[in-house]
């Protein structure tokens, strides 16, 4: 079972950029999207040619903002939207698909913003999301994927010293949030397989030719319950796939 996650920075835009060529080449069983910038009906229209996939979408109240979606060839037992908390469920940031032996959680974590105006909210979100995952995990293992908007360690971005505690995505408060997930029993699947690998990023600024120079950040993840790790056979980053300022990341589940 190949599961792929991609922040597409607009689902209606990405389908015009050889999305279906990527789909044919990658052939995922499940494809999780973040930042769809579309309501469920628009997602259905954009992805209507994904034959054989069931589509589920969650949108923000604000039009053209945020949003998540899951396309799956494997029918889930159930699909749930949001965290069940009104203060966190207006931006369409979480979809949970329940399968017989695990929960798949698609998340688009709030960005603290260029001026760090949402850093306090981001910390509240990280704690609420952690609690949400632990409640799921009491029932069965979780596999969490998506744009988590944080580079965890200094090998997860090209210029750590210049960005530490200065830029959204590499603030200590955000790193602390990722530390909480990992200390709480989740495993960063890519680092499990490649603990020291450098220059593997999933997001690049559109400015200054950052992508062509590979001046990037690894902020897209698959986190798995420790009990689920024997099922994870591979983790990968598809840096060659264009169409967004992020590239897809994925895992292979036995």
- Give tens-digit pLDDT for 198-226: 999 999 999 999 999 999 999 999 999 99
- Helix, coil or strand: residue 67: coil
Query: Is 58 known to be catalytic?
Result: no
Partnered with residue 78 across adjacent β-strands are 98
Which one is catalytic: 53, 56, 108, 221?
Answer: 108
- Give tens-digit pLDDT for 57-83: 999 999 999 999 999 999 999 999 999
- Give tens-digit pLDDT for 134-148: 999 999 999 999 999
* Residue 159 is labelled as binding a ligand: no
Q: Does the global pTM surpass 0.85?
A: yes
* Residue 196 is labelled as binding a ligand: no
* Residue 149 is labelled as binding a ligand: yes
- Give tens-digit pLDDT for 157-185: 999 999 999 999 999 999 999 999 999 99
Query: Is 108 known to be catalytic?
Result: yes
Query: Is 131 known to be catalytic?
Result: no
């Amino acid at each position: 079972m190949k599961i792929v996650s991609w922040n597409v920075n607009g689902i209606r835009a990405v389908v015009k950029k050889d999305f279906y060529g990527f789909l044919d080449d990658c052939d995922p069983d499940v494809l999780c999207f973040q930042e769809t910038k579309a309501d469920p009906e628009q997602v259905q229209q954009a992805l209507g040619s994904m034959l054989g996939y069931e589509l589920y979408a969650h949108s923000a109240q604000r039009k053209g903002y945020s949003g998540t979606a899951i396309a799956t060839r494997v029918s889930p037992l159930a699909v749930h939207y949001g965290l069940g908390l009104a203060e966190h469920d207006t931006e369409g940031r979480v979809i949970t698909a329940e399968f017989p032996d695990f929960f798949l959680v698609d998340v688009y974590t709030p960005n603290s913003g260029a001026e760090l105006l949402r850093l306090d909210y981001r910390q509240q979100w990280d704690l609420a999301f952690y609690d949400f995952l632990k409640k799921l995990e009491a029932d069965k293992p979780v596999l969490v994927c998506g744009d988590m908007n944080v580079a965890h360690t200094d090998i997860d971005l090209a210029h750590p010293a210049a960005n530490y505690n200065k830029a959204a995505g590499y603030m200590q408060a955000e790193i602390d949030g990722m530390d909480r997930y990992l200390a709480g029993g989740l495993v960063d699947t890519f680092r499990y397989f490649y603990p020291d690998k450098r220059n593997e990023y999933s997001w690049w600024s559109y400015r200054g030719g950052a992508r062509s120079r590979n001046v990037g950040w690894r902020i897209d993840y698959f986190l798995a319950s420790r009990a689920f790790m024997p099922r994870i056979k591979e983790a990968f980053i598809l840096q060659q796939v264009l169409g967004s300022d992020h590239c897809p990341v994925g895992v292979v589940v036995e």
